Amino acid sequence: MSAPRTFVKWLVTLGSLHAIVVCAGFFTPYDPIEQDRKNPYFPPMRLHLVDEQGRLHLRPFVYALKLRAGTFDQYEPDTSQSVPVKFFKSGARYRLLGFVPSRIHLFGSEGTRICLLGTDAYGRDQFSRLLYGGQISLLAGILGAGCTLSIGLCVGAAAGYFGGWRDNALMRAAEVFLALPWLYLLFALRAFLPLSVSPLKAFFLIVAVIGAVGWARPARLVRGVVLSAKERDFVRAARGFGASDFYLLRRHILPETSSVLLTQAAILIPQFVLAEMTLSFLGLGVPEPTPSWGNLLSSLQQYSVLVSYWWMYIPAMAMVPFFLGYLGLASSLQERLEPYKIERRIPGGLA
C-alpha cells in the first residue's frame, strides 16, 4: 500500500476512536460518577441474542446478575430475568461536545443496569468511566504535546536561527532537561502544588507539568532543521532582498519544520497519555470521583482487587488501539513527508 493510503487509514482509525471518546456522553449509558451501592464489583455482562431455550431474539439482551448466597461480590447470571437493550434511550443528562445538552444515550435499559465492562468498588459503570476517562487522558496527552511542541519550536527556532551564544545557552539548557530524572521531578513538582484542587485545576496542572517536561528533544530536532534551512539559496535570496528575521522564519524556515513537528506530535501524544496515567495511578492526577485511565487503574494497587476482579484491567487494554494508531500515524507521516525534505541532503542535519 502506498504511503498516502496508509496515512489515511491510520487517520480514519484514530479519528473514529477519538470521536467515540469525545462523544462519551452519547455512547455510554450512565453517568460515570453515579454510584450504585447495592452492586459493587459486577463482572462484565455478556450481550446475548440467543436465550437459554435456544430462541433467537432480534433485540440483544443481557441476563440480570444475582448475588451468590453468602458472598459479597460473587455474582451469577439470573437466566430467568433477561434485560433487553433499548437503543437511543433517554437517561442521565450530559453535554455533547461539552456544550449541547442532551439526555439521549446510544443504549440503555429499563430497571436493571447494563454494565458491559462490569462495575467498580462503588458500583459505578466501568464502561462509562472508561470512555469518560479517555476524555481526560487523551486531552491531557494532546494538550501536553501541544505545549511541548510550541516550546520546542520556539526554543529550537531561536537557537538554530540566531546561533552563537544563544544557540549554546539554549542547547545546553535542553541537555540539562534531558538529563533530569523526570518521574521524580514530577512527584516533587506535584507535591509543591496546593493540596486540594478542583478536578479542572488538577487537569490543567497535569497538562502544564507534562507539557513543560518534554520540550528538549523536539527543540533539538527543530534546531537541526532550521540550521540547514537558513543556509538554503531561497532563504539567502530572500534575505538579500531585505526580508526581516521574523518574515524569513515565518515564511521560509518554519514551514520546513512541519514534518518533524507532526511526527513528533504523533510520538509524544501517547507518551504523554502514559505520563498522565502514571501520575493518576499514583494519586497525583485528577482526583476522585472524576475518571481518568490512570485513576481507573489505581485500584489495582490493592492485591485483593488484582486477584479478584479481572475486569479492572480493561482500562489498561483500552490504550492499546490508541497507541497503535498514533505510532502507525507517526511512521506513515514520516514516510509521506520525508522525501521532500532537505535534512537528508545535509549530513548530520538532524541532531
Partner 1 sequence: MNNRRAIPFYRRIFLALSAVFLLLPGPGTAYPQQKLPKEELLVLPGEVGKTGGRLVVALRGEPKTLNPLIAADTRSREVIGIMQADLVHINRATQLTESALAKSWKISADGLQYTVVLRQGLKFSDGQPLDADDVLFTFRVYLDESVHAPQRDLLIIGGKPITVRKLDARTVVFQLPETYGVGERLFDGLAILPRHLLEKPYQEGKLGQIGTLATAANQWAGLGPFRLKEYVAGQRLVLERNPYYWKTDVKGNRLPYADELAFLFVPNADAQVLKFQSGETDVIAPLGAENFSVLSRQQRGYTMTDAGPGLEYNFLFFNLNDLGEKASAELARKQKWFREVKFRQAVSAAVDREAIVRLVYQGRGTPLWGLVAPGNRRWGNQRLAHPPRSLERARTLLKEGGFSWSNGADGESTLLDSDRKPVEFSILTSSSNADRAKMATLIQDDFKQLGIRAQVVPLEFRSLLDRVTQTKEYDACVMGIASFDADPNSDINVWLSSGGTHLWNPSQAHPATAWEAEIDRLFGEQMSARTFEQRKKLYDRAQEILAENQPMIFLASPDILAGAKNSVGNFHPAVLEPYVLWNVEQLYVKSGQENATR
Residues of the shown chain interacting with partner 1 in the complex, contacts defined by CB under 8 A: 33, 35, 37, 40, 72-73, 93, 95, 101, 121-123, 195-198, 283, 287-289, 302-305, 307-308
In Å, how far are 133, 347, 351 from 173, measured between CA atoms?
A: 35, 25, 15
Smallest gap from Cβ 67 to partner 1, in A, equals: 11
Which residue's C-alpha cell is 430467568?
A: 80
123 versus 146: smaller Cβ distance to partner 1: 123
Is residue 235 within 8 A of residue 172, CB to CB? The reply is no
Smallest gap from Cβ 165 to partner 1, in A, equals: 44
Helix (H) or strand (E) holding 57: strand 56-67
Which residue's C-alpha cell is 447495592?
A: 38
Smallest gap from Cβ 122 to partner 1, in A, equals: 6
Q: Which of these, 61, 46, 125, lies nearest to 92 by C-alpha position?
A: 125
Per-position b or e across 167-185, b if 16+ CB within 10 A of its CB: beebbeebeebeeeebeee
26 versus 323: smaller Cβ distance to partner 1: 26
Is residue 159 within 8 A of residue 55, CB to CB? The reply is no
- Residue 204 has a CB neighbour count (10 Å cut-off) of 13
80 CB contacts (<8 Å, ≥6 apart)? none
36 versus 167: smaller Cβ distance to partner 1: 36
187 versus 323: smaller Cβ distance to partner 1: 187
Smallest gap from Cβ 184 to partner 1, in A, equals: 16
Rounded to 10°, the helix 164-179/126-162 angle is 150
255 versus 283: smaller Cβ distance to partner 1: 283
Measure the CA–CA gap between 148 and 144, rounded to whole angstroms: 6
Smallest gap from Cβ 304 to partner 1, in A, equals: 4
82 versus 299: smaller Cβ distance to partner 1: 299
Per-position b or e across 54-90, b if 16+ CB within 10 A of its CB: eeeeeeebbbbbeeeeeeeeebebeeeebbebbeeee
206 versus 226: smaller Cβ distance to partner 1: 206
40 versus 163: smaller Cβ distance to partner 1: 40
Cα 196 from chain centroid? 24
In Å, how far are 6, 75, 327 from 262, measured between CA atoms?
A: 16, 48, 12
178 versus 306: smaller Cβ distance to partner 1: 306
Smallest gap from Cβ 307 to partner 1, in A, equals: 6
Smallest gap from Cβ 306 to partner 1, in A, equals: 8
Three-class SS of residue 280? helix
Smallest gap from Cβ 144 to partner 1, in A, equals: 23
Smallest gap from Cβ 180 to partner 1, in A, equals: 24
Strands (E), 199-339: none
